[in-house]
Every structure is written in structure tokens, then in C-alpha cells.
Structure 1
Amino acid sequence: MFSLFYGLWKYMFSKTELHLPILGIDKAGKTTLLEKLKSVYSNLEGLPPNRIVPTVGLNIGRIEVANTKLVFWDLGGQVLHLIL
């Protein structure tokens, strides 16, 4: 009986979590895209475009949309040279 209620509870209140990398060359607008997504889909204000600096390493942004958690991994362009 407990497992039935637990399964129902989990089904009703759990959220799917998706991890999405944002990849591209240097100065392609990856961080600007992430900040715009954060300002549109969350209560947080993103940075204005004139205050965005080049990413060193990575930025992680989390957004919740319609029972789904989106986790964006904004990798700096220089990091791609190390991976490849």
C-alpha cells in the first residue's frame, strides 16, 4: 500500500531534469543567451548585455518551465580547446 501512494506522490510532484550544454566559439553569444533565458523564464533578472563579461570556465543556469527543470551548462569558448 505504501509503494502505491509513494509512486502516485512521486508521479504527481516529481520534475524531469534536463541538462543542456551551450557550446560555441569565443564571443558567439552563449552567455548572453543564457542571461536572456533566465530573465524571460524565471523571476531573476539576467545581466544586461553591457555588463556580461567573457566566461572563464563555465556558468550554470537553472530554469523551471512547466514541471521540467532545465539546467544549462554555458561552457566558455576556451574550454572547448581543452576538451577537443
Structure 2
Amino acid sequence: MGLFDKLAGWLGLKKKEVNVLCLGLDNSGKTTIINQLKPSNAQTQDIVPTIGFSIEKFKTSSLSFTVFDMSGQGRYRNLWEHYYKEGQAIIFVVDSGDKLRMVVAKEELDTLLNHPDVKHRRIPLLFFANKMDVRDALSSVKVSQLLCLENIKDKPWHIWYITAPVHSEIYMNK
């Protein structure tokens, strides 16, 4: 079973074609994570900050994914809400080594969860606490606490503590 099949299983996705929104602050590692999910021959060697958004398509034996990699830069975050209706799952990436910006990540998460196109839907959420290899990185438990994930009662969610280095495989600890 490939990573996307596992992802679909954990998110409870059963459709043949799935739209996934990948959100998080700038420099959290969204594009790097998406790049690592691609087959090795399709991976990009140079990762650059996303301007606006980009779209990546993946196929597994049973599913077709369209991933909307949304820029996390402040000036582009207002674009996120225009894609909420399209998303059947959301990946929210945080930089577990950036303690100062965890408050901003929490504010953006709250805005997301309270948006009418998300609030009343049972849309699955996958949180990546990225950059666990950074010195003094927050644990997934601490990230969960700071983001108040235990308060999310109406949506299925999981958090993965990961390192997504460029030119290497993703290391995950669920």
C-alpha cells in the first residue's frame, strides 16, 4: 500500500477522485511534502516558494488525487477560502521548529475551521507537524495542544510528526 493509499485510508476517503487542499504558513514545508509524495522521476529538484497556488495530480491503484498547494505567504492566504468548497480533505502543515509563528498558524486554523464552507462539513483534516529534525522542535503533542486540536470534535483528524527534507524520503511518525 502506497503513501497516498494510506493517506486516503486515514482520512476516510472513499471517492475515486479526491481534491485535497494543502494549507499552512509560508516556509512550513507544504511544497516539499507534496514533492516527496510524487514518484521519484516526477520530483522537482529545486523547491521555490509557491506564488498563489499550484496544482499537482497523483494516481494510486484506486484513487486519483488533485492537490491544491496553497501559498502560505500572508498576502496570498485570502485565496484559501476560494477553494474550501472544492476540498474533500485538508492537509494543514506547521513548522514544528517555528514556535513564534505557532500563534499565527492557530489563528489561520481557526479562520479555516470557522469558515461556512468548512464549518458545517465533516471534512477530514491531516496535520503535518513538519521539521521535527530542527533543534528544539515542538513534539506532536505540544503542537496539538497549541493548535487546540482536541477541540475539533466534528471532523476526523490525525497529526503526523514528520521531516520532509528536500531530496530524501519523508520520515513519518503518526
TM range, smaller chain: 0.5 to 0.7
Instruction: Describe the SS at the equivalent of 1:73.
Output: strand
| Matched positions, count | 64
Instruction: List structure 1 segments (4+ residues) > 3 angstroms apart after TM superposition.
Output: none
| RMSD over aligned Cα atoms | 1.8
Instruction: Describe the SS at the equivalent of 1:28.
Output: coil
Instruction: Describe the SS at the equivalent of 1:62.
Output: strand
Map Cα deviations across residues 16-57 of structure 1 (whole Å, 9 max, x no partner): 1000000000100000011111135xxx42112xx1110001
Q: In structure 1, what is the Cα distance between the partners aligned to 2:72 and 2:29?
A: 10
The reply to whether residue 55 of structure 1 matches residue 34 of structure 2 is no
Q: In structure 2, what is the Cα distance between the partners aligned to 1:39 and 1:65?
A: 11
Q: In structure 2, what is the Cα distance between the partners aligned to 1:34 and 1:65?
A: 15
Higher relative contact order (CA 8 A, sep 6+): 1
Going by fraction, where is helix more abundant, 1 or 2? 1
Letter in 2 for 1:52: I
TM-score, with normalisation over the residues of structure 1? 0.67
Gaps of 5+ in 1: 1-14
Greater C-alpha radius of gyration: 1
